Structure 1
Amino acid sequence: MAVPSFNYEAALLACARGDQHAFQDLYHHEAPRMLALSLKMLTERTSAEELVRDAFVLIWKNAESYDPQTSTARAWMQSILRYRALGRLRQAGRVRPGLASWSDVLPTLPPARETPPSSLLHALALLDDTQRQAILMAFYNGYTYEQIAERLKIDAVALKTHMQAGLDRITEQQQA
């Protein structure tokens, strides 16, 4: 028997109408994934859990601003978490010695042949290593062009051009 997939968009739209049960379902289905992203970005469990909690408060308060025409519900929710995480990372004194090498570890992506052609993973797998690493460093770690260029040992201006070409290629792939 197939397990029905969870309808994030319907749950988020129900939250916009004040449906607390829909919010509980949304939390139950997405909080573990959001915690994983939060842990990857902040590296500290207590901070990561606090961030997820804060993000869900914002999701509940701002559910009426979700537009299904703009993005998927999961992307909208995770963007709230990610922007909050980046804000915390950019606060003065947030970078701690000893964690830099761990935080530079990026997720391993499956080869393009193992992913659906319309997926973001497929589009990322088609990029060259520098483009892929730079985009993942910006997304997961919130690094600036200069920080990425330093880590990849590339000129920052050249990196901007390289990253933009990679993002353009992802956009083209997603629209195809």
Structure 2
Amino acid sequence: MTDVSTSCDHAALITRCAQGDQQALKTLYQHEGARLLGVVMRIVKDRGMAEDIVHDACLNIWQRADTFDPSRGSGRSWMFSVARHLALNAIRYRDREVGFDAEFSANGTDAEHDEGQEEGVSPSTPVSEAFDWQTGERIDECLKTLTPERRNCVLHAYVDGLSHAEIAEHTGTPLGTVKAWIKRSLLRLRECMA
């Protein structure tokens, strides 16, 4: 059985990508997509996040194909370094956002905290202030079902009022990933709230 990656001229295909050949990118993805996903999965340990990162890696490969230098290494190595770099950035982002997550959890609604509140006083979290009391409780529970990265993006967008581009800049996450996370998260929240 022949290894499909050795029968593929990665450098030539990357060069064709730099020239705008979409079929070249498709061929690269067909040859390496599953392996890229495997490498990224080992780093981030989350299938949804890994799929988003591989998507962004393919976009980066397409957009930065003209920066590939065959004298510095193989095309295949270059592709995997792009994916690994994005995966490691995602891990760093996740670690940076833990502080925000911890603050959300500390200020989130829970029965013990809420029982001690005076009647008529609204809960103190930004999310629950936007909704009535029962809806606020439900949205907090639904938000907790999202991964920290996706939850933070939703909160940055709908609580902090940041644009997708501002969230991408703030978090160091590619814009396409931010948009995908928010879109999927909103669908999940809608299902959870139904």
Q: Give the C-alpha shift of residue 93 in structure 1.
A: 4.1
**1:13-40 CA deviation, whole Å, 9 max, x = no partner?**
1111111111110111011110000110
* Matched residue, 2:23: 21
CA distance in 1, matches of 2:59, 2:36: 13
In the other structure, the counterpart of 2:12 is: 10
Q: With the length of structure 2 as denominator, give the TM-score of the two structures.
A: 0.46
For residues 124-135 of structure 1, the aligned pairs below 5 Å read none
Which residues of 2 match residues 86-165 of structure 1 at below 5 A? 86-91=88-93, 92-93=96-97
Aligned-partner residue type, residue 13 of structure 1: T
* Distance in 2 between residues matched to 1:48 and 1:37, nearest whole Å: 9
For the pair 1:37 / 2:39, whether they are aligned, the reply is yes
C-alpha displacement of 1:88:
1.0
Name the structure 2 match of 1:114.
Answer: none
**Could you tell me which amino acid in structure 1 is paired with residue 54 of structure 2?**
V
CA distance in 2, matches of 1:55, 1:23: 11
Identity %, equivalent residues: 37
Q: Where in structure 2 are the equivalents of 1:69-84 lying within 5 Å?
A: 69-84=71-86
Equivalent residues, number: 96
Q: What one-letter code is carried by the residue in structure 2 that aligns with 1:50? A: D
Deviation string 1:33-77 (CA, Å, 9 cap, x unpaired) is 100001100000000000000010000000011010011001111
Point out the structure with the larger helix share: 2
The two structures have a TM-score, normalised by structure 1, of 0.50
Gaps of 5+ in 2: 99-194
CA distance in 2, matches of 1:52, 1:13: 20
Give SS of 1:6's match. Answer: coil
Q: Secondary structure at the match of 2:32?
A: helix
Aligned counterparts of 1:77 and 1:6: Cα–Cα separation in 2: 13
Please provide the CA RMSD for this pair.
2.3
Give the structure with higher Rg (CA).
Answer: 2
Q: Residue 69 of structure 1: SS of its match in structure 2? A: helix
Letter in 2 for 1:53: H
Matches of 1:32 and 1:79 in 2, distance apart?
Answer: 15
1:48 counterpart residue number: 50
